[in-house]
Amino acid sequence: MAVFLHDTMSRELRPLLVKPDRAVFGMYCCGPTVYGPAHIGNFRTFTVQDVLRRTLEVAGLRVKHVRNITDVDDKTIRGAQAAGQTLLAFTQQWTDKFHQDCRALGLLAPHVEPSAVAHIPQQIAMIAALVERGHAYVAKDGSVYFKVCTCKDYGKLTHLDFSKLETQGTNSAGEANDADEYERESASDFALWKSRKPEDGANFWPSPWGEGRPGWHIECSAMSLEHLGATFDLHGGGIDLCFPHHENEIAQTECSTGIKGFAAHWFHSAHLLVDGDKMSKSKGNLYTLDQLIAKGFTTTEVRYALIAGHYRSSLNFTFKGVEDAHSALAKLERGTDRLLAVAGFTRAEFLPPASQETQTAWGRFQHAWEVLQNDLNVPGCFGQVFTVLA
């Protein structure tokens, strides 16, 4: 049975399959911007992606998981300057911390983890292709912008009406319209290359259009093209990246390569709320993994709490929920050990046993697996497992 997953673009449940002409299932996930510790909202997304990858691999797919590191943008540059460090030193320390937290949560490392800074040449090449094809233009200050009106199916991921973009007061860069600040031909256009500014300090690179640095959106397009090709199987991220980031990725990638179908499947996880509210520093509810560990919770309990709800529904994270995870995990451990003892094998040898009693139990586990394969229904799967172990 194939794994079926909701596709954001088609809004349908679709099977995840390796294309006949390929040996692996290409999976690109937008990674962290490394200017500080990742918070639990970030880790909900990364943990859900980990569950998806593990599910695909158990289903027999050979996955190539690519997850990027965003190590150059406004936030990383400002953070490095405030810390009195080079951009490289600043972002490396937070990349290391991110890896530490991922290991603590039991996340599989991606097969490839490209960084934006290491792929500046690829980004410049992609921008040059867009300029040559008439999809981008160079402003007077040397910045380069994507010309959204040249992409006839712009908005197809989010079913966006392009004609309403500017009238809504936002542009496809996700910024407020400000004609004085930007030298765009249209407020809906977004930056591919940002010309060097004094506040950038030493963080600039040479390009055919002058010194500067890449825009945020082009980074993921260039890295996915480099490591997965012009088309691949699944692109994932948090729902907040759907627009404008992923919409812009589709537009600039397909316009630069001339090949449609950038990603065959789009996978987005919903927001994490804390006690019913959106996370924010001002509310004091923007928790990191270290803060939860300091409160006495284990990383396994946090992981369980992060996947306890369906990925397409907002998850309300509470300390009570993490405490409940402790009880659920203890029940899971006891029940699993009891079943394995009856069957006469270890966890490492968890195969269908011979006795009728344990065959029936195994059949129920198989049903739990089928539930999981239907749109990554983790809570439904847990429900089936606990029924078997009761």
DSSP of 228-265, one letter per residue?
Answer: H-SSEEEEEEEGGGIIIIIHHHHHHHHHHH--S-SEEE
| Cβ–Cβ < 8 Å for 262, 229 | no
- Residue 119 tokens, joined: 């792929």
User: Using CA atoms in the order 350, 353, 359, 364, what is the torsion angle rounded to 10 degrees?
Assistant: 0
- 95-113 pLDDT per residue, tens: 999 999 999 999 999 999 9
Angle ∠(188,192,197) on CA atoms, nearest 5: 105
User: Beta strands 277-278 and 272-274: pairing type?
Assistant: antiparallel
In order along its 390 residues, the chain shows pLDDT tens digits of 799 999 999 999 999 998 888 899 999 999 999 999 999 999 999 999 999 999 999 999 999 999 999 999 999 999 999 999 999 999 999 999 999 999 999 999 999 999 999 999 999 999 999 999 999 999 999 999 999 999 999 999 999 887 766 555 455 555 433 333 447 889 899 999 999 999 999 999 999 999 999 999 999 999 999 999 999 999 999 999 999 999 999 999 999 999 999 999 999 999 999 999 998 877 888 999 999 999 999 999 999 999 999 999 999 999 999 999 999 999 998 887 777 676 665 555 555 545 666 566 667 788 999 999 999 999 999 999 998 887
Cβ-based burial of 112 (10 A; exposed 0-12, middle 13-18, buried ≥19): middle
> Containing H/E element for 62?
none
Give the separation between CA 300 and CA 169, rounded to whole angstroms.
Answer: 43
pLDDT at 360: 67
Helices (H), the chain: 40-58, 74-83, 87-104, 120-132, 216-228, 247-257, 289-294, 299-307, 319-343, 356-373, 378-389
pLDDT at 177: 39
Domain limits, CATH 3.40.50.620, in the chain: 21-269
pLDDT of residue 162: 75
21-269 is a CATH 3.40.50.620 domain = yes
DSSP structure class, residue 109: P
Q: For residue 258, what are its two tokens?
A: 């001339």
Tokens of 324: 């409940």
Write out pLDDT tens, residues 240-264. Answer: 999 999 999 999 999 999 999 999 9
How far is 199 from 201, CA to CA, in rounded Å?
5
The single-letter code of the amino acid at 321 is G
Nearest to 272 by CA among 223, 305, 235, 247: 305
Q: Is the peptide bond before 15 cis (omega within 30 degrees of 0)?
A: no
